[in-house]
Chain A
């Protein structure tokens, strides 16, 4: 009897209590991500690199277009990295400051990575979700279009576009954005298919929620984990593609530069012994890519703890 009384008292006290704060899956994932040291360190490195790419040119004593006439023609002997001359990373053969050029190149490479991926995520997610959710014939037609597009050699189209319409940042965005969403669309469609028959989707349909709202409210939030992980792996892919194009000499045009273009220039100067021209851009390139992969890995482990 005493216990029954106590319980009743407890219950009223509990109901008087303020609302309990929920712990969403996102909060859980954030906690797990923050416990992953490699991923957090990589995220900090990425932030640092982004900061460098944005402010590096302002910090540098030389701008990226200024030519140091003291070193021109003898970059291998006078253009080495030194604090004295203000060329922290040395200069290239033309006497341009590599510190400022690296910052500029990193910015362009990151921009290509982010913009290309943004297009891929936007188009791919919507396309894949609609295709998977609607299903049937619509799905078949939409996915055949993806199949046909992905049968086109990607690099080939990009090179053709750049040759035909001239080399520009815009053309690179268009070329990369045009085909990069295909993989995303496939992944999202597959996920949507498996989500579609979950009972909470049926429950929403049974109570008359419109298809569009179901996609927005139930499908997309549950897809987001996969999309986020794939995105972090797509960004380095985009950077790599752009660098490859630039390495071939088809990328962005001077005076703009990118990490790929800087690496290409640097590799030509190996014979002269001015190795800093290769090392600095290459270091930024590899560190950026590694950092993205580690962050992607950390996100996957954090968002999908069951599938490890």
Chain B
């Protein structure tokens, strides 16, 4: 079996927090945004990542492209640990991993024309290309993502949100990456545009053989596009399974609660549906609960959950819960 494209082991990210007015010698408090996340991703595969806001989804994306410092191992094609590379060595891999951002308008420099925005990664990674070659590649890419190539001199504010997201996708794909990280690419768009952008992403993935990490908080979107889905809560993996298995029989109480909150576009079914309410707010990541981080909001928590951290167990359907039999993925 060949090595997976991306093999992330025990990824941890923590931020140092200082309150305003703290003395310079006051000790920093630590916010653990990611607490030992493991995942593998094969070429051409899509991994969906879901969770509430503040659970570490975006931090995970930013750690993978090394915008935030992380510890652990990020093995690229089973060989290179990206986290050990110097910025100069990393440059070669930056064209392999590209990212599409959440807010389409904020992710484009308002002072640059579309042509300049899309060309920027190309200029960075292929400085030997001539102006006409660059322009040609940019126009090809614009056509590929469904933009009119004659709009190359326009500025981001002259486009709609959906078009801006297409520009963002064009910028990510122009250097021919193997992995595309999409950080909530459609949550800022309205529903009809969401469908267009997702279908575009799915089509591009199929044609270019991209691997994708697709972050979203909209479960129906994730279900539509992902092969496997990972559920994050407070920087830890709660459940990781094939998309179909996860949506058909979720094992972790948190996943069940999330799934029960997905609205069904049928009023009769929606009324009859049984919701599993999640009590309270997400605990502060500054002082996460002991043992299982989810226990404070779990409807079936027991004494054991407060003392022991549940490990992520199972082979294809992995669950981190003391109260789930990992062999059958059924509650014990």
A→B interface (CB under 8 Å): 14-15, 17-26, 198-200, 202-209, 217-218, 221-222
Shortest beta-carbon distance, A52 to chain B, in Å?
36
B145-173 interface with A by 8 A CB criterion: 148-155, 157-158, 168, 171
- Given A199-B107, A222-B110: A209 in contact with B158 (beta carbons within 8 A): no
B65 contacts the other chain (CB 8 A): yes
Closest chain B residue to A202 by CB distance? B67
Q: Which of A22, A26, A203, A206 contacts B153 (CB 8 A)?
A: A22
- A205: chain B residues within 8 A (beta carbon): 67
B264 on interface, CB distance cutoff 8 Å: no
Chain A neighbourhood of B7, CB < 8 A? none
| B289 interface residue per 8 A CB criterion | no
B129 part of interface (Cβ distance < 8 Å): no
A207 close to B155 (CB less than 8 A): no
* Chain A positions within 8 Å of B107 at CB level: 198-200, 202-203
Q: Out of A22, A23, A199, A207, which one reaches B124, CB within 8 Å?
A: A207
Smallest beta-carbon distance B32→chain A, Å? 20
What 1/0 flags go to B87-125 for Cβ under 8 Å of A?
000110011011101110011111111100100110011
B residues neighboring A (CB under 8 Å): 62, 65, 67, 90-91, 94-95, 97-99, 101-103, 106-114, 117, 120-121, 124-125, 148-155, 157-158, 168, 171, 175
Q: How far is the CA of A23 from the CA of B94 in the complex (A)?
A: 32
Q: Give the chain A neighbours of B65 by CB distance below 8 A.
A: 206
Query: In the bound complex, do residue B95 and residue A207 qualify as a contact, i.e. CB atoms below 8 Å apart?
Result: yes
Pair A15/B150 contact, Cβ less than 8 Å: yes
Could you tell me the distance between the alpha carbons of A16 and B149 in the complex, rounded to whole angstroms? 10
Contacts of A17 in B (CB 8 A): 150
Say which residue of B98, B106, B108, B110 sits within 8 Å of A207 (CB atoms). Answer: B98
Q: Do residues A206 and B109 form an inter-chain contact, with CB atoms below 8 A?
A: no
- Subset of 7 A-B contacts with CB under 8 Å: A19-B153, A22-B153, A207-B95, A207-B171, A207-B175, A208-B124, A209-B124
Chain B hits for A208, CB < 8 A:
90-91, 94-95, 121, 124-125
Known: A200-B108, A221-B111. A23 touches B120 (CB 8 A): no
Q: Residue A19 contacts which of B99, B103, B150, B171 (CB distance < 8 angstroms)? A: B150
Contact present for B109 and A218 (CB under 8 Å):
yes
Bound-state CA distance A64–B152 (Å) is 57
Question: Taking the nearest CB of chain B, how far is it from the CB of A208, in angstroms?
Answer: 4
Closest Cβ of chain B: how far from A251's Cβ, in Å? 40
The residue in chain A whose Cβ has the minimal distance to the Cβ of B121 is: A207
A250 to chain B, nearest CB (A): 41
Complex CA–CA separation, A222 to B90 (angstroms) = 28
Contacts of A221 in B (CB 8 A): 109, 111-112
Minimum CB distance partner of A26 in chain B = B111
Structural contact, A25 and B157, CB atoms closer than 8 A = yes
Most chain A CB within 10 A, of B110, B111, B152, is at B111
Q: Which residues of B contact A198 (CB under 8 A)?
A: 106-107
Q: Which residues of the other chain, B, contact A202 by a CB distance below 8 angstroms?
A: 62, 67, 99, 101, 107
CB of B245 to closest CB in A, whole Å: 32
- Tell which of B65, B109, B110, B113 has the most Cβ of chain A within 10 Å: B109
The CA-CA distance from A18 to B153 in the complex, in Å, is: 11
| Bound form: Cα–Cα A25–B109 in Å | 11
Having A15-B148, A203-B168, one finds 8 other A-B pairs with CB under 8 Å, namely A19-B151, A20-B151, A22-B154, A23-B155, A198-B107, A199-B101, A199-B102, A207-B121
Contacts of B108 in A (CB 8 A): 200
Once the chains bind, are B98 and A206 in contact (CB under 8 Å)? yes
